[in-house]
Homo-oligomer: A and B are copies of this chain.
Amino acid sequence: LDAGIQLRIPVIIAGFGNVSQALVRLLNERFTYLRDKHGIEISVVGAVEGGKDEFFSAFLESGLDLDLLIETKRKSGRISFYPQCGGNSSTLELIKMSGARLLFEATPTRLNGGEPGLSHIRTALDLGMHVVTSNKGPIVFAAHELAKLASIKGVKLFYSAAVAGALPIMPTGEYSLNGCRINAIEGILNGTTNYILTEMAAKKLGFEDALAEAQKLGIAERDPRYDIEGYDTAFKLIIAANALMNADLKISDVEVSGIQKVTYATIDSAKERGSALKLVGRVEKREDKINAKVGVEEFRITHPFYSVNGKWKGVIFSTDLLGEVVVLGGASSPTFTAGAMLRDFLNISQFSDNKS
């Protein structure tokens, strides 16, 4: 990037929950850094929240004031109270009229078809906008369709924030292992289950007690089935395998089991053998046949997963050109997810900068 060239990139944000708010704070706080180091001025021209029949939006072609946007949300509950610029445009309306070059899609993950995120992303790509999303749903259901659309339109769709956020699974596969054939991916991909297993081992707890404690701390959901039965791990595995191993997996292709039947006795006897139990998603390609499964496995002290404790996660790629590459990373949080979205934005803008 040539020093001195400053590229103003108008962006919009769909969904305005914790992740979007963290993202706006980050874009605000990093404005000077991004301008000086990357030569980019990110201008948030619009944002929208709500859904179904009721939307709350804010739009200003010259760019919303980010302090005021956050303040409006905090004080009034709805961004549509943003002075002079509030409205009730739907997400699709905002995408179509915004003139933005990039959509940050951070609506909640829905795993029954990926809507409404899927329509948001499809519409944006179709209009020639780049998309960065933290939403697993559309990617699980339509990764290949969306990738093809993005390629035709000459734009990028990045979703590293949807796959274990702070743990850089997608950028490692895309960049660090560029040119490699990835023959296998195995990962501790879910922080909640890893936390529960770690607590059971450390405090000699049964599964139900450890779960209750995690729920009390807000680490496990009130309905924890999605995490503890292994489905969150399976969906992340599907996204990674479909993008990085040229697979076309659906959830029905994955043999899924969770941690709900793990007892302290099992953990203790593994411990006596110098091992630890982890919930692992594993996908392997052999002679173009792909096998994917999620389940509890035992790892010895010498294995890099042994020390992945608490809410930490980890992934191992087996490649032809660079051997095995292990990546371990920290717990997720709205701030880290926003950090992952900023990363995707910058990786995309490195492509696009050269265009202008």
Contacts and interface: CB of A to CB of B under 8 A. Distances in A.
A328 interface: yes
A152 interface: yes
Given A154-B2, A326-B327, A329-B322, A176 B168 contact: yes
A26 interface: yes
B176 A339 contact: no
A30 B321 CA distance: 11
Interface in A118-162: 151-152, 154
A180 B343 contact: yes
A306 B166 CA distance: 22
Chain copies in the assembly? 2
Given A306-B307, A307-B301, A171 B176 contact: yes
Nearest to A306: B307
A93 interface: no
B330 A327 contact: no
A255 interface: no
A167 interface: yes
Contact of A304 (B26, B304, B352, B355): B304
A26 B2 CA distance: 33
A167 B351 CA distance: 24
A243 interface: no
Contacts of A185: none
Point out which of A168, A303, A352 has the most chain B C-beta atoms below 10 A from its C-beta: A168
Contact of A179 (B30, B302, B330): B30
A213 interface: no
Interface in A313-356: 321-331, 335-336, 338-340, 342-343, 345-347, 350-352, 354-355
Given A1-B151, A350-B351, A351-B351, A325 B167 contact: yes
A324 B313 CA distance: 11
Nearest to A274: B301
Nearest to A174: B175
A309 interface: yes
Given A309-B302, A351-B351, A176 B343 contact: yes
Interface of A: 1-3, 26, 30, 34, 151-152, 154, 165-168, 171-172, 174-180, 301-304, 306-307, 309, 321-331, 335-336, 338-340, 342-343, 345-347, 350-352, 354-355
Given A2-B151, A174-B175, A321-B339, 19 more contacts: A166-B323, A168-B176, A171-B175, A171-B176, A175-B175, A177-B343, A178-B343, A179-B342, A179-B345, A302-B307, A304-B304, A304-B307, A321-B336, A321-B343, A322-B329, A322-B339, A325-B329, A327-B328, A350-B351
